[in-house]
Amino acid sequence: MALLEGKIALVTGAARGIGQEIALKLASEGADLALCDVKTEWLDETKAKVEALGRRAEAYGVDVSNGEQVTAGVAQVNKDFGRIDIVVNNAGITRDGLLMRMSEEDWDLVMNINLKGTFLMTKAASRFMMKQRSGVFVNIASVIGLMGNPGQANYGASKAGVSNLTKTTAKELAARGIRANAIAPGFIKTKMTDALTDEVRDAMLAVIPMKDFGTPEDVANTVLFLSSDLSRYVTGQTLSVCGGMVTS
């Protein structure tokens, strides 16, 4: 039997990259998918790939930083599927710049999507999970939120907040049968890393003990573990998927 047979999973930022890989991994283990992104047309590719695996997929246009859209979107997902078992808060952006040059607009935008968005989605979905007395949240944080990084004050602060929000969520909702964990990816192979110069790539690899970049599938596999009963007794944790960059 598949690990997530009969489960309903909601994934934000599911249109591409790590979000798409997460959606496909959960579908491959039996979950039906509610796919969320800012525009539904961005989700066409992910939706088609999930359906090719024989699972149901529905697309929802949701701006995770907008409370009204989140509340309405989550309610619609619950109505369409009948329940919500797993929420993966993956939507996130960067607006990098040195602290002294960073605009308020770039600070607010990153915080609103990365941290406020996770809060809003958790609050909205937990109402339905509490009624069914079961559910799992997997929040995508970052090693930058654990260790800091020059030029990423807004991103690092938002992801540190995601890790702490996860701990609080876990403590508040454990008695209702709801678990919450976070994943802190390190340097993951993407189109962005493919475009880096050899010098920059070598500098990044130098701080990774395993001397290799991670892949979106590495993150998705960890999401699968935390979404399934394999992690039944794990909650309130931030698990680094970083090749050893962060060890505590």
Mean pLDDT by 10 residues, the chain (248 residues): 96 96 98 96 97 98 98 98 98 94 97 98 98 98 95 96 98 98 94 76 91 96 98 98 91
What are the residue ranges of helices labelled H in 11-82? 17-28, 44-52, 67-81
Give the pLDDT confidence score for residue 192 in this predicted structure.
Answer: 62
Sheet holding 238-241, edge to edge: 57-61, 32-37, 8-12, 86-89, 135-140, 178-185, 238-241
Give the pLDDT confidence score for residue 190 in this predicted structure.
Answer: 81
Clarify whether 155 is annotated catalytic.
yes
Give the pLDDT confidence score for residue 1 in this predicted structure.
Answer: 79
* Reported pTM: 0.96
Question: Among residues 60, 155, 187, 213, which one is catalytic?
Answer: 155
Taking alpha carbons only, the member of 72, 68, 154 closest to residue 106 is 154
Give the pLDDT confidence score for residue 198 in this predicted structure.
Answer: 85
Give the pLDDT confidence score for residue 154 in this predicted structure.
Answer: 97
Give the pLDDT confidence score for residue 203 in this predicted structure.
Answer: 86
